[in-house]
Amino acid sequence: MRARGSVRRSPRPFGAAGVVPWLYLAPALVVLGGLLGYPIYQLGLISLFTYTQAQVSGGEAATFEGFGNYQHLFADPEFWQVLGATVVFAAACVVSTLAVGCALAVLLTRVRAVPRLALMLAALGAWATPAVTGSTVWLFLFDPDFGPVNRMLGLGDYSWTYGRYSAFFLVLLEVVWCSFPFVMVTVYAGIRAVPGEVLEAAALDGASQWRIWRSVLAPMLRPILTVVTIQSVIWDFKVFTQIYVMTNGGGIAGQNLVLNVYAYQQAFASSQYSLGSAIGVVMLLLLLAATLVYLRLLRRQGEEL
């Protein structure tokens, strides 16, 4: 029985509460569907066929292979070597970018207006520099014959791009240089939104700067850190320009190959477009899986995203 005086709420029209937000999002979803959905569909479709230069020129018809391209890819030891190198390299880039960006974001809150403006302009300049231009500049800086870095360090004619690990390290420096401004600006905006009383209370309690960051700022900025982490993972996992330019297409005997460059070589250098498409699909699935796992771990910790 209903209590006296209680008012029975009439049910809302079916789907009324859920349709309105989708109507606002519909224009953007249509644009994204055309710009992203259709190319992804074509990528997956080509990966299921035999599609080489003969099919492109119209000399032969494309034949359906099913998962044959994926079986060939997974049976290739070079693919697994490149995948492992890509994961390690991307993880190093993400960690380094987040560390540098967060450290400089905290530094921006500690310096005066003029140094802060200079640092912001320098960072935005690095962020706005095209990847090809930035890679060429870094190659000149570390050039064994004319580069100023070797002269300052007394390394003589040491070639940074000859060795596998030194070449990866050089590319990592360039990737961090052009990526940290996004993290720095985003985290700095988040820090400025934190109430000053919270930071003052932590300082009065005797907390060090590292303790304030770890126990106060980092938990409050976790949604922002989630966004910049996911963005960094996506950007660094699919690095192409820096590797291709700075290691001349993947290094000596392919020692500096990453998945994006490997897919380019298979698709365009070898004209195996279907195999290159299969690599692209694998990269897409790996990035989606990594993003979903990261978000799931955050939700288990009670974070609202």
Residue range 228-285, pLDDT digits in tens: 999 999 999 999 999 999 999 999 989 999 999 999 999 988 889 999 999 999 999 9
- Tell me what the pLDDT averaged over the chain comes to: 87
List all residues 6 or more positions away from 206 whose beta carbon is below 8 Å from its beta carbon. none
Q: What is the pLDDT of residue 305?
A: 52
| Nearest in space to 279 (alpha carbons), one of 36, 72, 64 | 72
pLDDT digits (tens, 9 = 90+) for 76-116: 999 999 999 999 999 999 999 999 999 999 899 889 999 99
- Amino acid type, 224: I
| 8 Å CB contact between 281 and 232 | no
Tell me the β-bridge partners of 50. 63
* Banded model confidence at residue 15, pLDDT cuts 50, 70, 90: low
What 8-state DSSP symbol labels residue 8? P
* Banded model confidence at residue 302, pLDDT cuts 50, 70, 90: low
Range among 21-25, 199-203, 245-249 with highest mean pLDDT value: 245-249
Q: What is the pLDDT of residue 304?
A: 54
Give CA separation, 157 vs 15, 154, 256, in Å: 70, 9, 21
Tokens read off for 51: 């599609």
- Residue 283 gets the label, from left (phi > 0), alpha (psi -120 to 50) or beta, of alpha
- Amino acid type, 91: A
Helices (H) and strands (E) in the chain, counts: 16, 2
